[in-house]
């Protein structure tokens, strides 16, 4: 049971890090710092910072807003996340 729980945490951590990496890539492409980007798009800077560092599992509405702030649809953002994940990635152990 303990190893299953640890496996789920590792998978969640992997997913959050990939999301953060993608957010950072797009934010850097805008040539804006976290504070300015967050301010311009009404995203809490602490949330953007933590999500970008893979340290927060944020609400779907926050991710949606972040995706839109890069001129992306939420679907485009999720597709990019899925492309970075290992094949057959799942958070649920079968």
Tokens 């949606």, residue? 64
44-69 pLDDT, tens digit each: 999 999 999 999 999 999 999 999 99
Q: Note whether 77 and 67 are within 8 A (CB).
A: yes
Which tokens hold the place of 86? 């290992």
Q: Which residues contact 3 (CB under 8 A, 6 or more apart)?
A: none
4-13 pLDDT, tens digit each: 666 666 999 9
CATH of 12-84, one of 3.90.110.10, 1.10.260.40, 1.20.140.10, 3.30.420.10: 1.10.260.40
How is the chain split into domains, by residue range?
12-84
- Give pTM, 2 decimals: 0.88
Give mean pLDDT, residues 14-31.
97
Tokens 């959050």, residue? 16
């Amino acid at each position: 049971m303990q190893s299953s729980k640890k496996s789920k945490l590792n998978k969640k951590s992997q997913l959050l890090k990939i999301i953060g990496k993608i957010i950072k890539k797009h934010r850097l492409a805008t040539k804006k710092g976290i504070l300015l980007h967050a301010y311009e798009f009404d995203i809490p800077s602490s949330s953007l910072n933590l999500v970008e560092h893979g340290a927060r599992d944020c609400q779907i509405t926050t991710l949606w807003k972040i995706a839109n702030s890069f001129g992306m649809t939420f679907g485009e953002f999720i597709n990019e996340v899925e492309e970075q994940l290992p094949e057959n990635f799942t958070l649920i152990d079968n």
